[in-house]
Amino acid sequence: MSQDKPTHESYLVVGGGPVAEAVVKLLKPQNLAIAFGSMWAKLLPPKVVSDAIQSCQATCIIHTGIVSTPVITNITYPSVYTAPPTEAQRKEMLEEINVVMKRTSIDGTRNLISAIPKTTVKQLVYFGSADCTFDGTERPNMSEVDVPCLPQAWVPALEPRSFGERSVLNANGQNGLATAVIRPAFLFGPTFHSYMGLLRCQRTPHLSAVCVGDNTNISDTTFIDNAAHAGILAADRLTRAHPQHAATAGRAFFVSDDDPRPSWDLERDLWAAASHTTPPVPVRVPLSRFLRKPGPLARLRGRTGPRTEKEKNMHWFCATRTYDISLARDVLGYAPIVTHDEGIRRTAEWWLEKQRKLSALKNETQATIDNPPPAYDAKTQSN
């Protein structure tokens, strides 16, 4: 694992979300100038973005491409008590965050790239997703050479990230800008998705055992800190003085925990760690249950694969998705700084801590209701 100290004088971390927090956390001990800005709240025109960059004199921008909303932030980092969201509310939140992700990765990235030329920024690192390269076929140990950026993501929700990847890679070499893309495999850690998955298991523990298909499909995952580490390494190598500059600029890099597991094991293992129980025996549900049988006309036209967004999502999750991280290892000096099992433990501890905090906030709220403050009395106050 590389221990090179980043050479940049000033970083601007944008995008928000847990990956951005992890990037800042890893940069802080190195006493570097760091600015943090969320792009989800409102998308600013390039001139305003340019002024913001100049104000912190950033030389490198790390764009995490991941966002959060106030509601989701309060769920994952509670400051006041709110009842856990229902499944219907979860779906509404996901729809909201997908809209925000679209604006951030498409409009936000476009504005950011337009603003850079007249600033001090010379390096730009963007966090895409390894799953942006999935095209509906199983390709074990896929490398960057095998699959470049697809014209459109297989999973519709990933299209904004795919657009962001293409935009950032195309910007390489323009006005002296050097760019790179980090493609982490399925992210987990202190995230909204991990939180909701564990909450679902808490409400209905038997669901943690359910898996669609035979669960023989293997997939890679990436703990948040490992993805952030890779982004910092890429930013370092993008400096023109670095010997790996030419090998890094204009490239996309797969990264993961380098420990592929059966796809449906992640949620089971997270719940087992959080509940201090043994992972349950898998309960298998046939994939055919979730796929519509094609009609005669569809078969005649050769359209026998998944068609709806739900079918595509299920087909994606039940496929083998493993990635060769050799390029990131050789060029960036990348190696996971947190093992997969340690990531599971940290995520479970994070979730349990949030549950303890929610419980305390709930008790405080109830105490206020049971013992309201005395009513204001003007006469008493005047005396």
pLDDT tens-digit profile of 183-239? 999 999 988 778 888 888 888 888 788 888 888 899 999 999 999 999 999 999 999
Q: Tell me the mean pLDDT in the region 239-267.
A: 95
pLDDT category at 318 given cuts 50, 70, 90 is: confident
Q: Tell me the mean pLDDT in the region 347-355.
A: 90
Spacing of C-alpha 230 from chain mean position:
13
pLDDT tens-digit profile of 138-181? 889 999 877 756 677 777 778 888 888 999 999 999 999 999 99
Tokens of 83: 């009842």
Tokens 């249950």 correspond to: 289
Residue 121 has pLDDT above 90, yes or no: yes
Give the 3-state secondary structure of residue 180: strand
Q: How far is CA 241 from CA 80, 117, 244, in A?
A: 48, 20, 9
Tokens 């094609």 correspond to: 294
Phi, psi of 366 (to 5 degrees): -65, -40
DSSP 132-154: GG--SS--TTB-TTT----SS-S
Q: Please give the torsion angle defined by the CA atoms of residues 238, 242, 246 and 248, in that order, rounded to the nearest 10 degrees.
A: -40
Query: DSSP class of residue 278?
Result: P
Domain residue extents for the chain: 10-190+219-261+322-350
Spacing of C-alpha 1 from chain mean position:
23
Give the 3-state secondary structure of residue 325: coil
What's the whole-model pTM score?
0.83
In this predicted structure, what is the pLDDT of residue 33?
55
How many residues make up the chain in this entry?
Answer: 383
CB distance 114 to 43 below 8 Å: no
Tokens of 64: 């995490």
In this predicted structure, what is the pLDDT of residue 218?
94
Domain 10-190+219-261+322-350 has CATH 3.40.50.720: yes
